[in-house]
Amino acid sequence: MPAPTDKGHLIDIDTSRPIWHRFFTVAPLVLIGTTEPDGSLDLAPKHMVTPMGWQNYFGFVCSPTHSTCKNIARTGVFTVSYPKPSQVLCSSLAASPRQAGHKPVLECFTTFPAQQIEGEFIDEAYLYFECRHFKTIDGFGSNCLITGEIIAAYADVDFIRHDDIDDQETIHDSPLFAYLAPGRFAAIERSNAFPFPAHMKK
């Protein structure tokens, strides 16, 4: 179907193949931590991530062929680390290919253990979740949606919102890592309050 004829600035995007490489979108970037069958750590960067509703549920897109998906199906748990902009390099290295079944680069990561589940986080991130696997939904082409219930959460105190500190000041002093798919990133250090309608509810 062609783009609307009264909108001359629009072009038609071919949906017979994936469209996501044709433009930029803004997303978080996280490192999902799982445990391999031999007990070693696996970390995988993911940007197709989101809260699953207003309660403490979290979800991300993965592939059933990836170790992340297999490990979660086996152990029933996973961790989530939200890196800072200064950690872009280590976040990228976590995507390095496996060699003889493991990722040697992970030996360079400083990590610390989760408290309520078996798992690990990367050091110096700003937000952490411990998740119990909720359900996996297959059928998104070659991908699946993995969801979990957040049973524990931790945050760097500098990134926590406070009633007596303006939100913009918090974001300016503690910038957030944004992944600009495909293949770019940004540090968010300026923001504006969203103009919600009066009396709007969730």
Tens of pLDDT, residues 181-200: 999 999 999 999 989 898 87
Stretch 1-29: mean pLDDT: 87
Query: Residue type at 172?
Result: H
CATH code for 22-157? 2.30.110.10
d(CA 92, CA 45): 7
Domain spans, the chain: 22-157
Cross-sheet strand order for the sheet of 143-155: 41-46, 30-35, 77-82, 127-140, 143-155, 57-62, 49-51
Stretch 151-169: mean pLDDT: 96
> Whole-model pTM?
0.91
Query: What pLDDT digit, counting tens, does each position of 28-68 carry?
Result: 999 999 999 999 899 999 999 999 999 999 999 999 999 99
pLDDT tier, 4 (very low <50, low <70, confident <90, very high otherwise): low
Query: Residue type at 180?
Result: L
